[in-house]
C-alpha cells in the first residue's frame, strides 16, 4: 500500500464517490425529539436558554407533535412541567398529570404514527428539584434515598404506561430502578412497554439550559451523589450491565458530544443492545449561540455533530434539533 499506487484522495474526489463509501449513515428514523409540555398557560412559552424551543401548553401540544411527525420524526420524548410541586412528587404519577394528559391527547391525535416515550423522574415535580425522595441520613445530612425513590419512579412509570406510553425512560440513576420498574410494569400487565434507561448519565454542566427550561435546578446540593463522575469511562460498563440484567431494552449514554469515547466503549463491549445517545441542552445551546454570533455554520456543524455521534456507536440520537435535522436530511443538502 504505497504511494503512488494507493492514492486515498481518489475516494474523496467528488460527492457521489464520498457518499458511496461513507461509513456512517443518518436518517430521521434514528432521531428522537424531546417535547416540553407545561400544565400552565395557553400559549407556547419560548425557552430563553434554548432558542427556538418552547414549553407547549396542553391545548397546543398535539399540533406541535403533528408537525414533528409530519416532518419525519416519529419518536417523541415527553417532559412534563407541572403546576404544583410537592415532597412526594405526587403530580408526577397522578392519572391526570401533565404527562398523562399529554399521552392521551397525542394517542388520540396520532394513533400509531408516533412512538410515545416519557422521561420518568421526580426533579420537575419536587420543590427541592432532586431526582428522588430526600431524607436526613444518620449524619444529619439531606440525601436522596435510593429505595424510596425507586418506588416512586415505578409509580410514575406505571401511570405513564396506563396513560398510553410505549416507552418509559427512567432518568434518575438510582440503583435498581430499572428492575423495580420492570417488575411493576409486568405485574400490572404492561410487559409490552419498553424501558429505555438513562444508564450512563453523567453529572454534567451541559444540562444547564434544560434545568432553566424545566424548572428542575436542585434547590440545594447537586446531583453528584447519583449521576456519574465525568472522569470515569469504564464505570459505564458496570452501569449498563446492571441495567440490562434488570431488564432495560435500550441503554443510553448522556451527554453525547463530550462523551463520544464512552459511546464507543459501550457499543464495543455491549454491542447487542440498542444504544441511544442524548445530545443534551448544552450541546444544542452551544451550536445555537455560536451560529447566532456568526462563528459557526449551524446546519453544517449540526450534521457533522450528529454523524459523529452515530459514528461513535449510537443507534438512535435524542436531540432538540430532531425536526430541523430531519428537514435538512430530506433536502439532501451537500454537507460532506
Ligand atoms: C431529568 C433530566 C435531566 C435531563 C434529562 N432528564 C436533567 C438533569 O439530570 O439535571 C437533561 C437533559 C438536557 O440537558 O437536555 N432528570
On the 0-12 / 13-18 / 19+ scale of CB atoms within 10 A, 64 is buried
Give the residue numbers marked as catalytic. Answer: 201, 254
**Which residue's CA is the closest to the ligand 1 atom numbered 14?**
207
- For residue 220, the tally of other CB atoms under 10 A from its CB is 9
125 Cβ inside 6 Å of ligand 1:
no
52 inside domain: yes
280 Cβ inside 6 Å of ligand 1:
yes
Pick from 91, 97, 85: which is nearest to 126 by CA? 85
207 Cβ inside 6 Å of ligand 1:
yes
Q: Which residues contact 171 (CB under 8 A, 6 or more apart)?
A: 119, 120, 121, 131, 198, 201
5 inside domain: no
With beta carbons less than 8 A apart as the criterion, state whether 169 and 197 touch: yes
248 inside domain: yes
The full DSSP string for 8-24 is GGGGGSSHHHHHHH-S-
Give the end-to-end CA distance of the chain in Å, rounded to a whole number.
Answer: 26
Question: Mutation test of ligand 1: which of 118, 121, 219 has the most ligand atoms closer than 8 Å to its C-beta?
Answer: 121
Cα three-residue angle 303-309-315, rounded to 5 degrees: 110
Pick from 215, 219, 160, 285: which is nearest to 40 by CA? 215
Structural domain range at position 231: 24-331
**Which residue's CA is the closest to the ligand 1 atom numbered 11?**
207
Nearest atom in ligand 1 to the alpha carbon of residue 282 is 14
204 Cβ inside 6 Å of ligand 1:
no
Cα dihedral 118/192/107/78 (nearest 10): 10
36 Cβ inside 6 Å of ligand 1:
no
With beta carbons less than 8 A apart as the criterion, state whether 111 and 140 touch: no
User: Hey, what's the cell of 172?
Assistant: 434518575
Q: Within the chain, where are the H helices?
A: 15-21, 61-70, 98-110, 146-162, 177-187, 208-214, 235-246, 260-269, 281-292, 298-312, 322-331
What pLDDT is stored for residue 323 in this prediction? 98
CATH code of the domain in which 259 resides: 3.20.20.70
> In angstroms, what is the span from residue 16 Cα to ligand 1's centroid?
40
With beta carbons less than 8 A apart as the criterion, state whether 120 and 151 touch: no
Question: Mutation test of ligand 1: which of 78, 207, 309, 318 has the most ligand atoms closer than 8 Å to its C-beta?
Answer: 207
2 inside domain: no
126 inside domain: yes
131 Cβ inside 6 Å of ligand 1:
yes
On the 0-12 / 13-18 / 19+ scale of CB atoms within 10 A, 211 is middle
Buried b (16+ CB within 10 A) or exposed e, 31-51: bbbbbbbbbeeeebbebebbe
Rounded CA separation 145/208 (Å): 24
Question: Mutation test of ligand 1: which of 89, 122, 123 has the most ligand atoms closer than 8 Å to its C-beta?
Answer: 123
Nearest atom in ligand 1 to the alpha carbon of residue 124 is 1
1 inside domain: no
283 Cβ inside 6 Å of ligand 1:
no
10 inside domain: no
SS3 category, 252: strand
pLDDT tens over the chain, length 336 residues: 799 999 999 999 999 999 999 999 999 999 999 999 999 999 999 999 999 999 999 999 999 999 999 999 999 999 999 999 999 999 999 999 999 999 999 999 999 999 999 999 999 999 999 999 999 999 999 999 999 999 999 999 999 999 999 999 999 999 999 999 999 999 999 999 999 999 999 999 999 999 999 999 999 999 999 999 999 999 999 999 999 999 999 999 999 999 999 999 999 999 999 999 999 999 999 999 999 999 999 999 999 999 999 999 999 999 999 999 999 999 987 889
With beta carbons less than 8 A apart as the criterion, state whether 37 and 119 touch: no
Cα dihedral 314/318/320/324 (nearest 10): 60
18 inside domain: no
> In angstroms, what is the span from residue 12 Cα to ligand 1's centroid?
39
User: How many distinct structural domains can be found in the chain?
Assistant: 1
Nearest atom in ligand 1 to the alpha carbon of residue 209 is 14
Pick from 91, 74, 89: which is nearest to 31 by CA? 74
What pLDDT is stored for residue 334 in this prediction? 84
> In angstroms, what is the span from residue 142 Cα to ligand 1's centroid?
21
Q: Which residues contact 330 (CB under 8 A, 6 or more apart)?
A: 28, 72
119 Cβ inside 6 Å of ligand 1:
yes
Question: Mutation test of ligand 1: which of 52, 79, 80, 171 has the most ligand atoms closer than 8 Å to its C-beta?
Answer: 171
Amino acid at each position: 500500500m504505497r504511494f503512488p499506487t494507493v492514492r486515498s484522495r481518489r475516494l474523496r474526489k467528488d460527492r457521489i464517490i464520498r457518499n458511496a463509501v461513507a461509513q456512517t449513515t443518518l436518517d430521521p428514523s434514528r432521531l428522537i425529539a424531546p417535547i416540553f409540555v407545561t400544565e400552565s398557560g395557553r400559549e407556547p412559552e419560548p425557552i430563553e436558554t434554548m432558542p427556538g424551543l418552547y414549553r407547549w401548553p396542553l391545548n397546543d401540544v398535539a399540533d406541535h407533535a403533528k408537525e414533528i411527525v409530519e416532518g419525519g420524526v416519529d419518536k417523541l420524548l415527553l417532559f412534563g412541567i407541572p403546576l404544583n410541586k410537592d415532597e412526594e412528587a405526587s403530580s408526577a404519577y397522578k392519572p391526570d398529570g401533565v404527562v398523562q394528559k399529554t399521552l392521551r391527547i397525542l394517542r388520540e391525535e396520532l394513533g400509531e404514527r408516533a412512538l410515545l416515550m416519557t422521561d420518568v423522574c421526580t426533579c420537575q415535580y419536587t420543590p427541592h428539584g432532586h431526582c428522588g425522595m430526600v431524607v436526613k441520613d444518620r449524619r444529619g445530612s439531606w440525601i436522596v434515598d435510593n429505595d424510596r425513590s425507586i418506588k416512586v419512579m415505578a409509580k410514575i412509570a406505571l401511570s405513564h404506561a396506563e396513560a398510553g406510553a410505549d416507552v418509559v425512560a427512567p432518568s434518575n440513576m438510582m440503583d435498581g430502578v430499572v428492575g423495580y420498574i420492570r417488575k411493576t410494569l409486568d405485574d400490572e400487565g404492561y410487559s409490552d412497554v419498553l424501558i429505555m434507561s438513562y444508564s450512563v448519565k453523567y453529572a454534567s454542566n451541559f444540562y444547564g439550559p434544560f434545568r432553566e427550561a424545566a424548572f428542575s435546578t436542585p434547590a440545594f446540593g447537586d446531583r453528584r451523589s447519583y449521576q456519574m463522575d465525568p472522569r470515569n469511562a469504564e464505570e459505564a460498563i458496570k452501569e449498563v450491565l446492571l441495567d440490562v440484567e434488570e431488564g432495560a431494552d435500550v441503554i443510553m449514554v448522556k451527554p453525547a458530544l463530550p462523551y463520544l469515547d464512552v459511546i464507543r466503549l459501550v457499543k464495543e463491549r455491549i454491542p447487542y443492545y440498542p444504544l441511544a445517545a442524548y445530545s443534551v441542552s448544552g450541546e444544542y445551546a452551544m451550536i445555537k449561540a455560536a451560529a447566532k454570533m456568526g462563528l459557526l455554520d449551524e446546519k453544517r456543524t449540526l450534521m457533522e455533530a450528529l454523524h459523529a455521534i452515530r459514528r461513535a456507536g449510537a443507534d438512535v440520537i435524542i436531540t432538540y434539533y430532531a425536526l430541523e435535522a430531519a428537514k435538512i436530511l430530506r433536502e439532501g443538502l451537500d454537507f460532506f
